[in-house]
């Protein structure tokens, strides 16, 4: 799967950061990576669609950088970056994830105090050793401790991969396997918003895989006949080997979740059986029953096939036993994208390019939802800009099979009012309202702020309802129970933001909204055409929340969608 421009830019920007961390004296070298990253993020065309000549035509990208960019596209990284990573302590880059800690600060902490990890920094701050360094002081120590606390409050998200980062690891790890002989399992297969280690079940012979694994491994942790573990793009990948006849049992076991597997083992025990990764064993000593696929194993337990995304022990097994599993939404049901940005604000695609990309995806419609002018950092649209865009959309729609709907992502201001006047919002097809400022408000004021916006008749969708960003920003404080109740009362949809950096709402809230008959809207929040592919993450989140086609606005045809919004 091709990396997006933003993902490639992330690798280049990370290289610039690491150069500063080691104290690179050639400032022009650092700036070259930063400029190249910025240029790639601004490109309207995915890098994967550019040939070498077109890439070299981008200002700031010479032949050396072009080769590195091509290498990232092929492998997910590039040689110089991996060589640099090998020269520094493995835990050092995690310091860059702390709020207010940049690469020059990391360099100083490392060189002056020998700090190599978040734990080292916390210890030094609590022992008041930071203030001994010139330019730092008591206030800086307190800031570091607050940043560490916020970092830890995000749970394990800071050390886990986004969905797209996991895709890159999976693509590299499975490149040595024969198609049709493996399945990626674990939290990746269940579609969790962030992913830990990668588990892969394979029918290939361990000797064959172990002979190839060195070509893609940063490090071989262990190589065996039952399991091989490697470090790939900095992440642990475990290959689990199984005979073809037992593949279903191994895949079920590795997919989990732990709670789901425990529940299945209980059902097996009731039938006088023992369930493990090799199959169903008769407790009376009658031998082992193996299963080549999961469906046959489920059937042996008296269950229909349970989709991987809902294997969390949240009532799915009871529903399966009752023959009442939900029918989950599929990617094929999606008729359009309901949150996209163009070059009119902070996006990197024109209206015509967006419509053409929608046509290639087979979409009926895409909602153009550029920022309102109140979000000054993205040069948002004022009333005149919105009116001008209406004419431009009308012109594009004359020739495009994918119709562009005219919308806006309007800012929810501190008092809950909106960043554009009602008379203007009333002329738009759909309105997405989102919080972009004052993210550290306490729960009650933030909740009332969003509730006030939802009471506006012109607001159709609440965008990225909890405001989180992986891995740097946790969700703001908000009472989602009250938000969901208000969404039902006002007929407002809640967005499933499919950006791998957001994945917002998370699946428990999606499930709550769905159970209370609140409509969900999936938007990629795409800023370039490559990011439109993030729709798959939104569909997966919807499935984890038990959503069927009838729960998701994107499954409506254009006329039905506009009727719903009117």
- Spell out the per-residue pLDDT of the chain, length 566, in tens: 567 788 888 899 999 999 999 998 888 999 999 999 888 887 777 888 888 888 898 888 999 999 999 899 888 889 999 889 888 887 888 899 888 899 999 999 999 999 988 888 988 998 899 999 988 988 898 889 888 877 765 544 346 889 988 999 999 999 999 999 999 999 999 999 999 899 999 999 999 999 999 999 988 989 999 999 998 888 899 999 999 999 999 999 999 999 999 999 999 999 999 999 999 998 777 789 999 999 999 999 999 999 999 999 999 999 999 999 999 999 999 999 999 999 999 888 999 999 999 999 999 999 999 999 875 445 789 999 999 999 999 999 999 999 999 999 999 999 999 999 999 999 999 999 999 988 888 999 999 999 999 999 999 999 999 999 887 788 989 999 999 999 999 999 999 999 999 999 999 999 999 999 999 999 999 998 989 999 999 999 999 999 999 999 999 999 999 999 99
Residues of CATH 3.20.20.140 domain(s) within the chain?
Answer: 331-565
The superfamily CATH assigns to domain 5-153 is DNA polymerase beta, N-terminal domain-like (1.10.150.110)
Q: CATH: 3.20.20.140, 1.10.1740.10, 3.40.605.10, 3.30.1360.120. Which one for 331-565?
A: 3.20.20.140
Residues of CATH 3.30.210.10 domain(s) within the chain?
Answer: 247-321
CATH class of 247-321: alpha beta
For residue 222, the SS3 value is strand
Instruction: Check residue 437 and give left, alpha or beta (phi > 0: left; psi -120 to 50: alpha).
Output: beta
The full length of the chain comes to: 566
Selection from 81, 78, 151 nearest residue 121 by Cα: 151
Distances (CA, A) of 15 to 100, 263, 501: 19, 46, 20
Q: What is the DSSP letter of 203?
A: -
Residues of CATH 3.30.460.10 domain(s) within the chain?
Answer: 159-241
What sections of 159-246 are H helices per DSSP? Answer: 163-174, 186-190, 206-212
Distance of CA 128 to the CA centre of its chain: 38
Full-model pTM: 0.75
Architecture in CATH for domain 159-241: 2-Layer Sandwich (3.30)
Tokens standing for residue 73: 């596209």
Break the chain down into helix, strand, coil percent, rounded to 5.
Answer: 50, 15, 35
């Amino acid at each position: 799967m091709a990396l997006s421009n933003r993902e490639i830019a992330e690798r280049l920007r990370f290289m610039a950061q690491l150069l500063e961390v080691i104290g690179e004296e050639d400032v022009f070298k650092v700036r070259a990576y930063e400029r190249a990253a910025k240029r790639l993020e601004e490109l309207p065309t995915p890098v994967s669609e550019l040939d070498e000549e077109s890439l070299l035509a981008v200002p700031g990208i010479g032949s050396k950088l072009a080769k590195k960019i091509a290498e990232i596209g092929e492998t997910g990284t590039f040689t110089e970056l991996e060589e640099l990573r090998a020269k520094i302590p493995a835990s050092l880059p995690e310091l860059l994830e702390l709020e207010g800690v940049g690469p020059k600060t990391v360099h100083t902490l490392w060189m002056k105090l020998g700090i190599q990890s978040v734990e080292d920094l916390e210890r030094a701050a609590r022992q008041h050793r930071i203030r001994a360094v010139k330019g730092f002081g008591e206030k800086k120590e307190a800031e570091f401790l607050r940043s560490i606390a916020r970092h830890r409050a995000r749970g394990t998200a800071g050390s886990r991969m986004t969905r797209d980062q996991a895709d890159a690891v999976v693509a590299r790890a499975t490149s040595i396997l024969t198609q049709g002989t493996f399945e990626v399992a674990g939290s990746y297969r269940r579609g969790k918003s962030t992913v830990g280690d990668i588990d892969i079940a394979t029918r290939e012979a361990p000797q064959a895989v172990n002979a190839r694994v060195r070509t893609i491994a940063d490090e071989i942790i262990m190589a065996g006949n039952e399991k091989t573990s490697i470090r790939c793009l900095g992440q642990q990948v475990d290959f689990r080997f199984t005979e073809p006849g037992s593949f279903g049992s191994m895949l079920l076991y590795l997919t989990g979740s732990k709670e789901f597997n425990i529940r299945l083992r209980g059902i097996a025990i009731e039938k006088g059986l023992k369930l493990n990764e090799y199959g169903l064993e008769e407790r009376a000593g009658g031998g082992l029953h193996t299963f080549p696929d999961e469906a046959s194993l489920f059937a042996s337990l008296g269950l229909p096939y349970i989709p991987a995304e809902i294997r969390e022990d949240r009532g799915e097994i009871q529903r399966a036993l009752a023959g009442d599993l939900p029918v989950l939404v599929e990617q094929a049901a999606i008729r359009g994208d309901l949150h996209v940005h163009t070059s009119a604000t902070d996006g990197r695609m024109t209206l015509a390019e967006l419509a053409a990309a929608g046509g290639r995806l087979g979409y009926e419609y895409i909602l153009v939802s550029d920022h309102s002018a109140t979000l000054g950092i993205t040069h948002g649209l004022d009333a005149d800009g919105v009116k001008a865009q209406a004419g431009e959309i009308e012109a594009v729609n004359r020739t495009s099979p994918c119709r562009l709907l005219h919308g806006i992502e309007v800012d929810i201001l501190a008092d809950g009012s909106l960043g554009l006047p009602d008379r203007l919002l009333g002329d738009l097809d759909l309105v997405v309202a989102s919080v972009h400022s004052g993210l550290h408000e306490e729960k009650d004021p933030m909740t009332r702020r969003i509730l006030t916006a939802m009471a506006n008749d012109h607001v159709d969708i609440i965008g990225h309802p909890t405001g989180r960003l992986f891995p740097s920003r946790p969700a703001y404080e908000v009472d989602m129970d009250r938000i969901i109740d208000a969404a039902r009362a006002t007929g407002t949809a809640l967005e499933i933001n499919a950006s791998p950096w957001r994945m917002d709402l998370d699946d428990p809230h999606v499930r709550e909204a769905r159970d209370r008959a609140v409509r969900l809207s999936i938007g990629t929040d795409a800023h370039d055409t490559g990011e439109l592919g993030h729709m798959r993450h939104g569909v997966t989140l919807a499935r984890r929340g038990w959503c069927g086609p009838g729960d998701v606005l994107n499954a409506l045809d254009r006329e039905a969608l506009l009727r719903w919004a009117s």
